Amino acid sequence: MNHYVQRVLNDLQARNQHEPEYLQAATEMLQSLSTVMDKHPEYEQAGLLERFVEPERAILFRVPWVDDCGHVHVNRGYRVQQNSAIGPYKGGLRLHPSVNLSILKFLALEQVLKNSLTGLPIGGGKGGSDFDPKCKSDREIMAFCQSFMTELYRHIGADTDVPAGDIGTGAREIGYLFGQYKRIAGQYVGVLTGKGLTYGGSLVRKEATGYGLCYFVEQMLAAHGKNFRGQRVVISGSGNVAIYACEKAQALGAKVIAMSDSCGYIHAPDGIRLDVIKQLKEVERCRICHYVDRVPGATYHQGATNIWGVSCDIALPCATQNELGLEDAKALVAGGCYAVGEGANMPTTLDATDYLLASGVLFAPGKAANAGGVATSALEMSQNSMRLSWTFEEVDCKLKAIMQHIFRKTAKAAQDYAPSPNNYVVGANVAGFLKVADAMMAQGVC
Among residues 213 and 431, whose Cβ is nearest to ligand NDP? 213
- Asked if 318 and 308 touch (Cβ cutoff 8 Å), the reply is no
Bridging pattern class, strands 314-317 and 299-302: unpaired
Site residue total, ligand NDP (CB under 6 A): 24
Q: Which stretch binds ligand NDP (CB under 6 A): 163-171, 185-193, 247-255, 268-276?
A: 163-171
CB of 44: closest distance to ligand NDP in angstroms?
A: 32
| Residue 363-382 contact track with ligand NDP, rule CB under 6 A, x = bound | -------x--x---------
Q: Sign of the CA dihedral 154, 157, 160, 162?
A: positive
Q: Does 344 bind ligand NDP (CB under 6 A)?
A: yes
Name every residue whose Cβ is closer than 8 Å to that of residue 302 and which is 6 or more positions away in sequence.
Answer: 263, 264
Q: Which of 118, 320, 410, 429 binds ligand NDP (CB under 6 A)?
A: 320
Choose, from 114, 126, 206, 281, the residue flagged as catalytic.
Answer: 126
Count Cβ atoms below 10 Å from residue 301 Cβ, excluding itself. 17
Q: Does 342 bind ligand NDP (CB under 6 A)?
A: no
Q: Does 109 bind ligand NDP (CB under 6 A)?
A: no
Among 334, 335, 304, CA closest to 320: 304
Alpha-helical (H) ranges within 153-239 are 171-185, 205-222
- Asked if 118 and 371 touch (Cβ cutoff 8 Å), the reply is yes
* Residue 73: strand pairing partners: 65
Among residues 74 and 263, whose Cβ is nearest to ligand NDP? 263
> Torsions phi, psi of 444, nearest 5?
75, -175
CA angle, residues 297, 274, 233, in degrees to nearest 5:
75
Q: Which stretch binds ligand NDP (CB under 6 A): 27-35, 36-44, 159-167, 437-445?
A: 159-167
Among 196, 210, 240, CA closest to 380: 196
* Nearest position to ligand NDP, beta carbon: 239
- Asked if 52 and 67 touch (Cβ cutoff 8 Å), the reply is no
Among residues 161 and 323, whose Cβ is nearest to ligand NDP? 323
Q: Which of 91, 127, 165, 200 binds ligand NDP (CB under 6 A)?
A: 165
Q: Which stretch binds ligand NDP (CB under 6 A): 43-51, 162-170, 381-389, 419-427?
A: 162-170
Q: Which of 82, 116, 147, 209 binds ligand NDP (CB under 6 A)?
A: 209
Q: How far apart are CA 5 and CA 30, in angstroms?
A: 6
Q: Does 147 bind ligand NDP (CB under 6 A)?
A: no
Among residues 99 and 344, whose Cβ is nearest to ligand NDP? 344
Q: Does 383 bind ligand NDP (CB under 6 A)?
A: no
Q: How far apart are CA 238 and CA 257, in angstroms?
A: 13
Within residues 262-301, the interface with ligand NDP by CB under 6 A covers 262-263
Alpha-helical (H) ranges within 118-170 are 138-152
Q: How far apart are the first and last CA of the chain?
A: 27
Among 58, 60, 59, 52, CA closest to 12: 52
CB of 137: closest distance to ligand NDP in angstroms?
A: 18
CB of 235: closest distance to ligand NDP in angstroms?
A: 10
Among 212, 176, 170, 213, CA closest to 194: 170
Q: Which of 25, 36, 99, 304 binds ligand NDP (CB under 6 A)?
A: 304
Q: Does 30 bind ligand NDP (CB under 6 A)?
A: no
Among residues 308 and 390, whose Cβ is nearest to ligand NDP? 308
Among residues 51 and 287, whose Cβ is nearest to ligand NDP? 287
Catalytic residue status for 126: yes
Among residues 82 and 422, whose Cβ is nearest to ligand NDP? 82
Q: Does 349 bind ligand NDP (CB under 6 A)?
A: no
* Residue 15: strand pairing partners: none
Q: Which stretch binds ligand NDP (CB under 6 A): 180-188, 219-227, 338-346, 435-443?
A: 338-346
CB of 442: closest distance to ligand NDP in angstroms?
A: 28
- Asked if 308 and 333 touch (Cβ cutoff 8 Å), the reply is no
Among residues 118 and 320, whose Cβ is nearest to ligand NDP? 320
Within residues 211-270, the interface with ligand NDP by CB under 6 A covers 237-242, 261-263
Helices (H) and strands (E) in the chain, counts: 18, 12
- Asked if 206 and 227 touch (Cβ cutoff 8 Å), the reply is no
Catalytic center residues: 126
The footprint of ligand NDP (CB under 6 A) covers 165-168, 209, 237-242, 261-263, 304, 318-320, 323, 343-345, 370, 373
